[in-house]
Structure 1
Amino acid sequence: MTAPRAVGVRLPNAAVPESVREWVGATLGSPVVATAEQVGGMSPGCATRVTCADGTRAFVKAVSSGLNPDTPGLFRREVGVLTHLGEHELWARLLASYDNGEWVALLIEDVEGRHPDFTRPDEVEAVLAGTDRLSALLQERDVPASVDLVDVSHVLGKWAESLDGLVDAPAATPVPDWLRGDPDGWAEVLREHAARPMPHVVHWDIRVDNLLRRPSGEVVFVDWGVAARGPAWADPLLARLERVDESWFDGSLASSPTLREAGDDVVTAFLAGFGAHLAVRSVVAVDVNLPTLNDFRITESRRMLGAVARRTGR
């Protein structure tokens, strides 16, 4: 089975304030009698499947600004996104939310299923088909400007700056020497795409730990905390990163209409920029209660830059 690439250290449900736990039972209309803690993702808050006395089930995620100053904002964004997207079988529906200014919690539909196995071709194809379907659907739905979505144009610009800065980056920055100086001009490719209109919502965080496969085979996309406005090719590309260190990745690009239209140059520039940015962050970032995040950055950067080397013959 494919294990989640992102695994943090989470607060157990029992350590969440009693007021939040009481809200869960009151909202569901029955006291919680069983919990099952979940792994995957980097949030330091709880991620718990709960079962109530009357058999009702739900998924609870809760975090405070004391645990991490940024994560409550991600939860609030997810509330806004799910509220405005409405219900659909492609994502778990929002049941209720709690926000007292310090603690933010979400009650979400408990999806019966497991993470997809990316070693099985049929499950990979289900993920890719589901992602194409999600991308098409999101182009038909909108989230108002009052919801603070991530701006992919800004992100691509930051990645371009990271590529530009590699020539003077500290020697400890874990990038290959051939990337310093951006020899193929990927920063400019990123800037050119950053300047294009990006009117549509994208999930922007498609990883195996944010995917569930129902027993019937359908894929469900969860965790919308970094939902963004971005290009139509973004989610199909992210869905393929699970196997970016394999030649399968290169061959799979042709199966996506939006990636075919975007072209190989933007895919390689995306990998170079994302990998460079993660490498730079690995030596300068200060993470609060996220003890596994930096190892994740380094590992993901290595995988992406390895793919750049493979795709360019270096």
Structure 2
Amino acid sequence: MDVHGGRSRLAWTDLPPHVRDRIEAHAGAPVRAATTALGGFSPGLASTLELADGRTVFAKAVGSETGPGSADLLRRERANLERLGPLPFASRVIGAHDDGDWVFVLFEHVRGHAPRPSVPAERARMIRAFEEAAASLTPSPIIAETFAATAAGDMSRWCHAERGDAGVELDPWIAANLEAVRSLASRWADASSGSGLRHGDLRADNMLLSGDDVVIVDWTEVCLGAPWLDWLLAVPSVCLFPDTPPPEATFRESSLSHSAPPGDVTSVLAAVTGYFLTSSVLPVVPALPTLRDFQRAQGLVAAEWLRERVEAGLV
């Protein structure tokens, strides 16, 4: 998934010399070539670094002035991975440094590519990774906040929305049924609860197919939630790919949907729809120029899915 983040990312040569020196010191060899990763939204460095000794590592680096909150996000990802320790399906940290301004993390390089949901076999592998991660991380191996706590502001957008608001009017069915949607979304916090650790931002562009393995990356938003939560949050982005099934059919392709209470799924979906649609009409973030378009596209998919579930009585 090219969500265009790579177009605004720092390149290796954009880093201050002292940061490049520290990265090379931690890597154990000079950098001979760097390739910027596509996909994702971070405005910082996200590059494959080819070292003079023949090894390859993956590096993320960001400074406090690079983008709003970006340095703290990378610090959080580093802390989460260090607390989790080695997992067979997670990216692995091999070095890190933080001087209070610039922070960087070096990861083992994974040769592979993001799954393409348009390809049934790759979508199936991606879905198995969701299922295996949900099973492996239930109960949670670490202490973490609940999804309800971490997403309270984002998932409560319908509380303050009114007819005529730009985000509401993006979808005619939402505009015509706003009070019902608001009511459905009101219990999202209880509906999303669970004892397992969820990735919190698990889309196709946060996975790599590598041989027979699937490696999950970008562990910034971990939280406690229902086993099916990550998969539900991912479906709107999966369905942006051509030739994928409609959202409900895509959701049901995973066994995670089989034990998901229909009313809980619909409640969380209603809240997610509000987050996407209302966020998409906010001012553009200069460091993330295509974020609003991506949110709008997912919001419209989520709204259509929500309508279908309500009309089917899955409430």
TM-score for the superposition, normalised by structure 1: 0.87
The alpha carbon displacement at 1:113 in A equals: 0.5
2:197 and 2:103 mapped to 1: Cα distance? Answer: 23
Per-residue Cα deviation, 1:5-58 (whole angstroms, up to 9, x for no partner): 453511111101122211121112111111111111111101100011111211
The alpha carbon displacement at 1:250 in A equals: 1.5
2:183 and 2:42 mapped to 1: Cα distance? Answer: 33
- Structure 2: state its 5+ residue gaps: none
1:25 and 1:11 mapped to 2: Cα distance? Answer: 17
2:143 and 2:283 mapped to 1: Cα distance? Answer: 31
Q: Counterpart of 2:196?
A: 200
Do structure 1's residue 293 and structure 2's residue 291 form an aligned pair? yes
- Structure 1: state its 5+ residue gaps: none
Per-residue Cα deviation, 1:240-266 (whole angstroms, up to 9, x for no partner): 334336544322434544432223333
Per-residue Cα deviation, 1:143-194 (whole angstroms, up to 9, x for no partner): 345xxx5x41146644553223332452465532331375574444444341
Structure 1 range deviating more: 247-256 or 13-22 = 247-256
Using the aligned pairs only, state the percent identity: 27
- Alpha-carbon spacing, 1:76–1:237, altered in 2? closer, same or farther (3 Å): same
Letter aligned with residue 220 of structure 1: V
Letter aligned with residue 11 of structure 2: P
Selected match of 1:244 from 239, 244, 248: 239
- Alpha-carbon spacing, 1:176–1:105, altered in 2? closer, same or farther (3 Å): same
The alpha carbon displacement at 1:115 in A equals: 1.0
Do structure 1's residue 231 and structure 2's residue 226 form an aligned pair? yes
- Alpha-carbon spacing, 1:224–1:7, altered in 2? closer, same or farther (3 Å): same
1:15 and 1:208 mapped to 2: Cα distance? Answer: 28
Q: How does 1:186-225 map to 2 (within 5 A)?
A: 186-195=181-190, 197-214=193-210, 216-225=211-220
2:40 and 2:86 mapped to 1: Cα distance? Answer: 23
Q: How does 1:1-314 map to 2 (within 5 A)?
A: 3-5=1-3, 7-8=5-6, 9-144=8-143, 151-154=146-149, 157-158=152-153, 161-168=156-163, 170-171=165-166, 173-180=168-175, 182=177, 185-195=180-190, 197-214=193-210, 216-244=211-239, 247-285=245-283, 287-313=285-311
The alpha carbon displacement at 1:286 in A equals: 5.9
2:311 and 2:186 mapped to 1: Cα distance? Answer: 24
Note if contact 1:233-1:259 (Cα within 8 Å) is conserved in structure 2.
yes
- Alpha-carbon spacing, 1:184–1:170, altered in 2? closer, same or farther (3 Å): closer
- Alpha-carbon spacing, 1:64–1:124, altered in 2? closer, same or farther (3 Å): same
2:200 and 2:56 mapped to 1: Cα distance? Answer: 27
- Alpha-carbon spacing, 1:79–1:96, altered in 2? closer, same or farther (3 Å): same
1:256 and 1:240 mapped to 2: Cα distance? Answer: 11
Note if contact 1:117-1:124 (Cα within 8 Å) is conserved in structure 2.
yes
- Alpha-carbon spacing, 1:243–1:292, altered in 2? closer, same or farther (3 Å): closer
Per-residue Cα deviation, 1:45-76 (whole angstroms, up to 9, x for no partner): 01100011111211001111211131111111
TM-score for the superposition, normalised by structure 2: 0.86
Letter aligned with residue 250 of structure 1: E
2:44 and 2:89 mapped to 1: Cα distance? Answer: 24
**Alignment partner of 2:259: what SS?**
helix
1:188 and 1:311 mapped to 2: Cα distance? Answer: 15
